[in-house]
Amino acid sequence: MPLKDTQANRAQQVPRLTDIELRDVQAATETNHGDEDAEADTSNSLTTRNVLKIAAIGFSLFFSSTNDGSLGALTPYIIRSYNVGTEYVALIYASTFLGWLLAGATNSHLSRYFDLGAVLTVGAVLQLAAQFLRFWTPPFGLFVVTFFLQAAGMAYQDSHSNTFVTSVKGAHRWLSFIHAMYALGCLVSPFVATAIASRVQERWPLFYTFLIGVGVINVVAVLVIFRDSLRIHVQSSAEEPTSRGKNATRDIIDTLKSRPVYLVSLFYFFSLGVGITAGGWVVEYLISARNGKLPEVGYVPAGLWGGIFLGRVLLSEPTHKYGERRMMMGYCVAMLALQLVFWLVPNLVSSAVAICFLGFFSGPMFTTGMSVASKLFPKRIQPTALGRSLTSPRGDECTLTQY
């Protein structure tokens, strides 16, 4: 009995370390989770720094779009200046597609070595380099290659920019803003391109000096506003490059295995690719099929992109409020009807009006697709998956321009 009492007293005196440790670990875990949540809230909230970053991203997309939006207005000058047919102009679209394809294949590797600001800087510099190679009327082969550089830089910029913006609170509004800036650039550039080209005629490549100026501002804005993420991750051991390469390859494989990637790619292939192709060829079509005059119809692509700009500004909230699926189906029906008007009514004015409204109803499609894709793609593969999805419209351009 005394022995049992002694053992019982000792058992009561020994502290229950397991319970104490568990409570401490639980408290520490809750504290860590709280810190992580607070950090996530800070990174996703609309701080002044994040607003400036979104503004810089919007300007970056404006710069990219001045390249895309001007091509339709300059196509007749390209054909006549280089004395080539439309089949050679189609090489520009093929070169653009290859640039996007390269970026899609290397996006995951690039993000392993560069922070967000560094990746955006690479994209901005590549696009600026393309403009420097154009303004002095280079040989046609080099002129085509510049679109490869432009597309690769734009693809790096777009995929990582969209990934960042989708993480911000109220992402659907900010996605509408940055892609409205893209449409604004496509709206402005045909006016500038047509005004310069119609005045200087054979010296139409001088238009690209305007893009050089915008591109310089873009590079400076990215370097200043994203200065907190300009780091390049230098290897610390011999095994690290192999590990990074394996992780990047794993991201690519996971992206290719993801079913939503193919669904989003198919969506953009038909919706965005057709719109960009129409904007690029509408001037030449109105000249050859509607007997339009070049100085007059050169501004029609601005109507298309003006409609897209208004659509992204005015239709984003109704689309989010009344249901993305329902509203998108309505937009598709309206776009189909407008396409029929454009094709079947042999009138220059009706064709121009139809393509303006076509742009208006297609406006919210890109931003809605981005919003949905951000919920479907795992965070780890978002830049790679978005880059892969956005390659599809460029493939659409490359395919449709052959016919």
Total-model pTM: 0.78
C-beta separation of 122 from 85 below 8 A: no
> Is residue 25 assigned to a domain?
no
Q: Tell me the CATH number at 259.
A: 1.20.1250.20
- Is the dihedral angle over the CA atoms 370, 376, 380, 381 positive or is it negative? negative
Give 232's DSSP letter: B
In terms of residue numbers, what domain contains 267?
53-231+238-400
* pLDDT score for 127: 97
Residue 397 and residue 275: Cα distance in Å, rounded?
A: 9
> Is residue 5 assigned to a domain?
no
Q: Of 147, 112, 108, which is closest to residue 130 (Cα–Cα)?
A: 147
* Residue 35 clears pLDDT 50, i.e. is over it: no
Residue 19 and residue 325: Cα distance in Å, rounded?
A: 52
Residue 280 binned pLDDT confidence (cut-offs 50, 70, 90) = low
User: Domains in the chain: how many in total?
Assistant: 1
Residue 4 and residue 265: Cα distance in Å, rounded?
A: 75
* pLDDT score for 19: 46
The single residue listed with the structure tokens 């119609």 is 198
* Residue 125 clears pLDDT 90, i.e. is over it: yes
19-28, 109-118, 258-267: which range is least confident on average? 19-28
> Is residue 35 assigned to a domain?
no
pLDDT tens track for 191-235: 899 899 989 988 999 999 999 999 999 999 999 999 999 888 765
List CB contacts of 350: < 8 A, sequence separation 6 or more: 341, 342
Q: Of 363, 388, 392, 352, which is closest to residue 72 (Cα–Cα)?
A: 352
Q: What percent of the chain has pLDDT over 70?
A: 81
> Is residue 188 assigned to a domain?
yes
> Is residue 29 assigned to a domain?
no
Average pLDDT over the chain, rounded to an integer: 82
Rg (C-alpha) for the chain, rounded Å, is 26
> Is residue 11 assigned to a domain?
no
